[in-house]
Amino acid sequence: MKNSTRPVRLLGALLPAAVTLALLATPGLANAAPAPCYDTTAALTAEEQRLDDVLPGGTTAVGPELVRLAGFEDDVAAFTSRLCGTSTRQAQELASSAGTALWKAAVARARSAQASWDAYDDRPLYWARLSMTRALRQWQPARGQLDAVTRTRLVDSLDRASRGVTDVAFSGQPDVRRIVVTGFDPFQLDGPSVRRGNPAGVAALQLDGRVIDTPQGRVVVQAAVLPVLWGAFDQGIVEAVYGEALRARNAPHAIVTLSQGRPGQFDVERWAARWRGGFPDNNGLSSVGTVPDAAGWPQPAAEFVETTLPHQKMIDAGTGPFTVRLNRSFCEWPLGSTPGTVPYDCRTDEPTPGAVAAVGGGGDYLSNESMYRANRVRLGAGATSVLGGHLHTPVLDQPADPAALTDAAFEAQRRQIADQAIALVALV
């Protein structure tokens, strides 16, 4: 389907016969009889269950339709088909290789001038990944038993590989500035908002592997996309991206966490806070309290971590069309109080020595925590010469028609946000 200025609706259009046959055997891509190696009664996550969600008045599930429109349905069908003939011993290699292939396909599509569906759409990668993890949860191997621990390991392997987490590495090119960036999955996807995208994820896909020529020299970027899941953060996914990069031979000169923030502006966040506020994640789970450590990484117990990004340079550069500002706000629990039991104090000056952090400039959700974790491990590794901080993008609206997956205004705004984010990262 060609991209156009017309809203693209879910109309349940006829598919080519070959694609239809592939979908019939693919869990999550069609409401048809499953292949014999899948148990469709197996428990799924809340994210995976949304693969069946449709828009108001529609009959076609949003996630699988975006997978089809972006051309990823063959990747999903090939994975689910191969899984049926795979032993439990072979499954680990398949999960890892399929995840890596999906990530590379998504990056290639994001950079393609010939993409039939808007190359700046991050949503197909998200839904294709969930289609694959859903298959792994429902898979019943013909040979050998699959215990819960092994199944979880397979899901995690595919998930991290398909996010670019295992693909962050720089070559030894001289006179090149190296930057590691992470974006995020779409979030708040219940009801009609199942069609949401995330411009931070768009920017990450656009930036991965990109070489940017700047007046100060050449910049090379490696990127990954983080999940909107408290549990994945507990398991150290942020540290896996940035910690591994920082201890590599060709370490980065700067690290930047990206997420979607406030309407109409970019914010360079001054402070990251060591506190979770409990807003539900993409699986509907909450977590409140001090940000946990990630096992195996040096992590100082700082309550606040301050940005070292060149914020004034980023503000003065005139990257446009959105205003760029330094957000100096933060909140802390009053000295001597029990955190979470009294109102916190918010200011724009400096944190009080000894106070417990309550809210960073980027809030108390996973955006703030991505900045905190990435820079905590940076400081723990002694990489004080490496710049680090967080950039919040403007909010991406949804298509005006509640039954549409896209429209011209939505695509234009998404491209504007992502392109300005790329320009700002190049200044770091």
Find the range with the poorest average confidence among 17-21, 123-127, 154-158, 289-293: 17-21
Nearest to 203 by CA among 173, 225, 178, 234: 225
Tokens of 215: 């007046």
Residue with tokens 């002694």: 382
Question: Quick check: 27 pLDDT over 50?
Answer: no
Burial class (CB in 10 A: 0-12, 13-18, 19+), 113: exposed
- Averaged pLDDT, 98-120: 95
Tokens of 65: 């339709």
Question: Quick check: 67 pLDDT over 60?
Answer: yes
Do residues 330 and 273 touch, judged by C-beta distance below 8 A?
A: yes
Quick check: helix, strand or coil at residue 89? helix
pLDDT at 35: 60
pLDDT at 410: 98
Whole-angstrom distance, CA of residue 345 vs CA of residue 289: 16
Read off the pLDDT of residues 183-239 as tens digits, 9 standing for 90 and up. 999 999 999 999 999 999 999 999 999 999 999 899 999 999 999 999 999 999 999
Quick check: helix, strand or coil at residue 158? helix
Read off the pLDDT of residues 398-425 as tens digits, 9 standing for 90 and up. 999 999 999 999 999 999 999 999 999 9
CATH tag for 171-425 (out of 3.40.630.20, 3.90.1310.10, 3.20.20.140, 3.30.420.250)? 3.40.630.20
Rounded to the nearest integer, the mean pLDDT of the chain is 92
Model confidence band, residue 303 (pLDDT cutoffs 50, 70, 90): very high
pLDDT at 174: 85
Give the residue range(s) of CATH 3.40.630.20 domains in the chain: 171-425
Whole-angstrom distance, CA of residue 53 vs CA of residue 47: 10
Backbone angles phi, psi at 324, to 5 degrees: -115, 130
Peptide linkage before 321 cis (omega within 30 of 0): yes
Strand bridging mode 404-406 / 387-393: unpaired
Whole-angstrom distance, CA of residue 46 vs CA of residue 50: 7
Do residues 164 and 97 touch, judged by C-beta distance below 8 A?
A: no
Model confidence band, residue 142 (pLDDT cutoffs 50, 70, 90): confident
